[in-house]
Structures are given as C-alpha cells and as structure tokens.
C-alpha cells in the first residue's frame, strides 16, 4: 500500500505546485500585484516542504496509466480567465486529495493543506473579481442585444469589430429560449475574451455562469443580487437622475448606465435625461458609467463632447447592415477620446 500512497501524494503535490505557479505568474505579470504573488509563492514553498525525497522516489511515470488520459478540452484555452479557472480547479482538487491521503501519511500535512485549500478558494474569488473589473474598466463600448433571428451572428460580427462587453436582453422569449441563447452568447464571449452580462435575471446569470447582471430601477434590489451572485461577479444598475446615480454607487454597483440620453423606442415612454445628465455623471461619477439611450453614429460626437468616455448602444449595432464596421466606428471614436484625455493638450471635445 505504501508505494501507491506515496505515488498519489507525489503526483498531487506536483499538480498543486504547478497550478499555483500558473496563477502566480498572472498575479506577477498580469496584475503586477506583489502581495498576491508572494502569497502564491509561499504556498508553493510550503508544499515543497512536504514533497520529500521518499515521495519522489516512488514516482513511476512510464507505468502511470493517467499520463495518456488527456481530455481534448485541455488543448485549448480561450481566455486568461479560463486559464485561471482551470488551474484553480487543478490546485483545489489536488489539495483535497492531499488532505485525504495525508491523513494516512502525516496528519500535520493533512491539516496544513486543508487550511491552504480554504485560502485558495478565497484567492480564486478575489482574483476573478479583479480580472472582471479590470476588463470592465477597459471596456468602452457596451452592446445590449435586441431580439433578432440573427442574434448570434450579429453579436459575433460586433465582437470581431472590437466589442468587449455584451448584455443579453430579451423580454419577449420564454425561459427555455433565453437559456439557450444565453449559453451560446456566453460561450461566444469567452471565445473573444469579452464580458457577458445578463439583463434583469440573476437566476439566468447564475445558470450560464455569466460575468454579471444588469438591474433596472424596478428590478431586484442590488444588495440581494450581490448576496446571490457573490463579490466576484459584476452588477450594473440603470440610472436616470443624479439621485439614482448616487444611490447606485452607495449600494455597491460596479457600473451604471446613464440615460436615456435621447428618447428611444427601447424604453418607450421614458423621457430623455439629456446631455445635462451626461455632464453631471462626468463630473461626479466615481465608477465606470455608460451613456445610453438613442446613441448612434450621428449623435455620438455630441455625447462624447458632453463628457462620456463610455457608451452603450442597441439599434446602432443590432440593426446595422454591417455590425462589424459599426462597432469599429464606435471603438475608434472612443479610443480617440481616450487618447486625447490622456494628454494635457486641448482635444476635439473641448476637454483637457
């Protein structure tokens, strides 16, 4: 029994240390976070302490039947997020094995890796939260879908044009259709390393592992959504006035929609908040915000002039003859605005 036990411990110590190294490299080079990098390094060194020569000596790689069992999905990673998720799972599984078999080998090792496993769970949630919020910070163009027979092809065309944030919105379809569409859109967004948000429905967001949910003023209270989704998911809130904006920030929204800037059939009957509200958000909003409502290629310039750095569109892309080109136009306008704001010289929008 001893050789088999030693081989199990040796293999899983290797797995845990390798997975931690992958995570550590992202903390170091992707996030440039010295504290998180040091934490991963400390865990690797602690595991190395338990990886003694008697365990290594039991290794028998040529006769290990598990070395030939590679799942096809292991050959491809579609995003950094997926790399992190896969390696967190690898570390957590290995630590669980070490905990259980460690009880036979050395109880002190079992106790140590048990505590480490809980700490790794916490880091996973924290790291994925950071990753999503960094993506949110850099996402300037936000597409909200509308029902169409060409939903997937239109969204993919926009993603090919540089889109990095998609919200699935469909208030007409039944739940089975919404679930299928959300699953397909979630996978599509993963392939293009874009954030995927579900409108209104926290349950649907959880079902498809969306990056978050967007709530209107009449939807579920933000604090309830946070309890269900956890801290690592993104929650956005629609706002139509300075009071609603301040309330959303106080409640912990990760981003807000500011509008409608112009009247739009998407929100029939709602009066436009106008450019004055955009100017207010530019001066007072401390979290990412998206000007929304009736924005198209003809009026986007004046929205940017009013102070918007991010915009959200529906018809301007979903109903465009060439969604890729429409997306590229908006991305180019927003990038030009970002570049000018990064300098102290006057820009075309009248800001410095």
Are 110 and 103 a contacting pair, CB within 8 Å?
yes
Interior angle at CA 147, CA 256 and CA 209, nearest 5: 55
Are 97 and 8 a contacting pair, CB within 8 Å?
yes
Determine which one of 17, 90, 140, 169 is catalytic: 169
Q: Would you call 138 a catalytic residue per the annotation?
A: no
Report the greatest alpha carbon distance in the chain: 76
Q: Which helix (H) or strand (E) holds 350?
A: none
DSSP class of residue 29? I
Helix locations, 80-218, DSSP H: 80-105, 107-138, 151-160, 175-191, 202-207
247, two tokens: 């309330």
Determine which one of 15, 238, 310, 337 is catalytic: 238
Q: Would you call 114 a catalytic residue per the annotation?
A: no
Helix locations, 51-106, DSSP H: 53-56, 80-105
Determine which one of 140, 186, 233, 267 is catalytic: 267
CA-based nearest residue to 42, from 27, 64, 54: 27
Are 338 and 309 a contacting pair, CB within 8 Å?
yes
Instruction: State yes or no: cis peptide before 260, omega within 30 of 0.
Output: yes
Q: Would you call 41 a catalytic residue per the annotation?
A: no
**Distance (Å, rounded) from C-alpha 248 to C-alpha 238?**
8
Interior angle at CA 196, CA 193 and CA 202, nearest 5: 150
Q: Which residues are catalytic?
A: 169, 238, 267
């Amino acid at each position: 029994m001893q050789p088999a036990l030693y081989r199990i411990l040796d293999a899983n110590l290797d797995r845990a240390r390798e997975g931690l190294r992958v995570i550590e490299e992202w903390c170091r080079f992707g996030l440039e976070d010295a504290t998180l990098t040091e934490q991963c390094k400390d865990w690797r060194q602690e595991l190395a302490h338990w990886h003694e020569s008697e365990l290594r000596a039991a290794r028998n790689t040529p006769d290990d039947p598990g070395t030939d069992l590679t799942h096809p999905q292991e050959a491809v990673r579609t995003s950094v997020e997926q790399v992190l998720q896969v390696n967190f799972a690898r570390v957590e599984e290995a630590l669980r094995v070490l905990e259980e078999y460690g009880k036979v080998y050395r109880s002190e090792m079992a106790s140590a890796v048990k505590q480490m496993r809980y700490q790794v769970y916490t880091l996973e949630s924290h790291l994925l939260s950071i990753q999503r919020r960094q993506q949110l910070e850099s996402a300037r163009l936000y597409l909200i879908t509308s029902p169409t027979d060409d939903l997937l092809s239109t969204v993919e065309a926009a993603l090919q044009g540089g889109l990095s944030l998609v919200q699935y919105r469909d208030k007409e379809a039944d739940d089975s259709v919404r679930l299928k569409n959300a699953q397909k859109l979630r996978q599509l967004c993963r392939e293009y390393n874009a954030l995927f948000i579900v409108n209104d429905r926290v349950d649907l967001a959880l079902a498809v592992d969306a990056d978050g949910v967007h709530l209107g003023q009449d939807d579920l209270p933000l604090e309830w959504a946070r309890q269900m989704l956890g801290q690592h998911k993104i929650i956005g809130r629609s706002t139509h006035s300075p009071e609603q904006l301040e309330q959303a920030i106080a409640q912990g929204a990760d981003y807000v929609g500011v509008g409608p800037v112009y009247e739009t059939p998407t929100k029939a009957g709602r009066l436009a908040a106008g450019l004055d509200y955009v100017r207010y958000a530019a001066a007072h909003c401390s979290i990412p915000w998206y000007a929304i409502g009736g924005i198209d290629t003809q009026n986007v310039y004046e929205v940017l002039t009013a102070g918007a750095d991010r915009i959200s569109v529906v018809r301007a892309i979903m109903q465009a003859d060439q969604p890729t080109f429409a997306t590229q136009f908006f991305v180019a306008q927003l990038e030009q605005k970002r570049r000018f704001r990064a300098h102290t010289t006057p820009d075309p929008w009248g800001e410095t």
